[in-house]
Structure 1
Amino acid sequence: GAMSASAVYVLDLKGKVLICRNYRGDVDMSEVEHFMPILMEKEEEGTLSPILAHGGVRFMWIKHNNLYLVATSKKNACVSLVFSFLYKVVQVFSEYFKELEEESIRDNFVIIYELLDELMDFGYPQTTDSKILQEYITQEGHKLETGAPRPPATVTNAVSWRSEGIKYRKNEVFLDVIESVNLLVAHQSSLIFLFVFVQVSANGNVLRSEIVGSIKMRVFLSGMPELRLGLNDKVLFDNTGRGKSKSVELEDVKFHQCVRLSRFENDRTISFIPPDGEFELMSYRLNTHVKPLIWIESVIEKHSHSRIEYMIKAKSQFKRRSTANNVEIHIPVPNDADSPKFKTTVGSVKWVPENSEIVWSIKSFPGGKEYLMRAHFGLPSVEAEDKEGKPPISVKFEIPYFTTSGIQVRYLKIIEKSGYQALPWVRYITQNGDYQLRTQ
Structure 2
Amino acid sequence: MVASAIFILDLKGKVLISRNYRGDIPIRKIEKFMPLVLAAEEEEQTLSPILSTEDGVNFLYVKHNNLYLLAMTKKNSNAVTILLFLHKLIEVFKEYFKVLEEESIRDNFVIIYELLDEMMDFGYPQTTESKILQEYITQESHQMEVQVRPPIAVTNAVSWRSEGIKYRKNEVFLDVIESVNLLVNSNGNVLRSEILGAIKMKCFLSGMPELRLGLNDKVMFETAGKTTSSKSKAIEMEDVKFHQCVRLSRFENNRTISFIPPDGEFELMSYRLSTQVKPLIWTEVIVQTHSGSRIEYQIKAKAQFKRRSTANNVTITVPVPEDADTPKFKCSMGSASYAPEKSAIVWTIKQFQGGKEFILRAHFGLPSVKNEDENQKKPPISVKFEIPYFTTSGIQVRYLKVVEKSGYQAFPWVRYITQNGDYHLRMPESVKTAKLSTI
Matched residue, 2:301? 314
Matched residue, 1:176? 175
* Counterpart amino acid of residue 436 in structure 1: H
Query: After the TM superposition, which parts of structure 1 deviate over 3 Å for at least 4 consecutive aligned residues?
Result: 147-156, 233-240, 243-247
Q: 2:203 aligns with which of 219, 230, 238?
A: 219
2:217–2:237 Cα contact (<8 Å) kept? no
TM-aligned CA deviation for residue 250 of structure 1: 0.8
Taking the aligned partners of 1:391 and 1:165, their CA distance within structure 2 comes to 55
Change (3 A) 1:284 1:185: same
Between 387-396 and 175-184, the greater mean CA deviation after superposition:
387-396
SS of equivalent residue, structure 2 residue 237: strand
Indicate yes or no: 2:333 matched with 1:337. Answer: no
Taking the aligned partners of 1:247 and 1:291, their CA distance within structure 2 comes to 18
* Counterpart amino acid of residue 407 in structure 1: I
Matched residue, 2:279? 292
Structural mapping, 1:75-86, within 5 Å? none
SS of equivalent residue, structure 1 residue 262: helix
2:178–2:419 Cα contact (<8 Å) kept? yes
Structural mapping, 1:190-339, within 5 Å? 204-233=188-217, 246-339=233-326
Change (3 A) 1:237 1:381: farther
Matched residue, 1:57? none
Taking the aligned partners of 2:299 and 2:222, their CA distance within structure 1 comes to 39
* Counterpart amino acid of residue 174 in structure 2: L
TM-aligned CA deviation for residue 234 of structure 1: 5.0
Taking the aligned partners of 2:336 and 2:241, their CA distance within structure 1 comes to 40
Taking the aligned partners of 2:219 and 2:178, their CA distance within structure 1 comes to 14
TM-aligned CA deviation for residue 235 of structure 1: 6.9
Structure 1 residues not aligned, in runs of 5+: 1-144, 189-203
TM-aligned CA deviation for residue 384 of structure 1: 2.7
Indicate yes or no: 2:410 matched with 1:411. Answer: no
Change (3 A) 1:391 1:155: closer
Taking the aligned partners of 1:255 and 1:298, their CA distance within structure 2 comes to 41
SS of equivalent residue, structure 1 residue 354: coil
SS of equivalent residue, structure 1 residue 249: coil
SS of equivalent residue, structure 2 residue 341: helix
Identity %: 76
Could you list the per-position Cα deviations for residues 111-137 of structure 1 after superposition, in whole angstroms to 9, with x for gaps in the alignment? xxxxxxxxxxxxxxxxxxxxxxxxxxx
1:236–1:249 Cα contact (<8 Å) kept? no
TM-aligned CA deviation for residue 155 of structure 1: 7.7
CA RMSD of aligned residues (A): 2.6
Could you list the per-position Cα deviations for residues 131-150 of structure 1 after superposition, in whole angstroms to 9, with x for gaps in the alignment? xxxxxxxxxxxxxx9x9654
TM-aligned CA deviation for residue 388 of structure 1: 2.9
TM-aligned CA deviation for residue 238 of structure 1: 12
Taking the aligned partners of 2:166 and 2:357, their CA distance within structure 1 comes to 51
* Counterpart amino acid of residue 218 in structure 1: K
2:326–2:365 Cα contact (<8 Å) kept? yes
Matched residue, 2:165? 166
User: When the two structures are superposed, what TM-score results if normalisation uses the length of structure 2?
Assistant: 0.60
TM-aligned CA deviation for residue 247 of structure 1: 3.2
Q: How many residues align?
A: 279
Taking the aligned partners of 2:426 and 2:214, their CA distance within structure 1 comes to 40
Q: 2:415 aligns with which of 396, 415, 427?
A: 427
TM-aligned CA deviation for residue 300 of structure 1: 0.6
Change (3 A) 1:381 1:237: farther
* Counterpart amino acid of residue 179 in structure 1: E
Taking the aligned partners of 1:159 and 1:239, their CA distance within structure 2 comes to 29
Indicate yes or no: 2:393 matched with 1:402. Answer: no
Could you list the per-position Cα deviations for residues 290-326 of structure 1 after superposition, in whole angstroms to 9, with x for gaps in the alignment? 3211111110111111001000111111111111111
Change (3 A) 1:380 1:236: farther
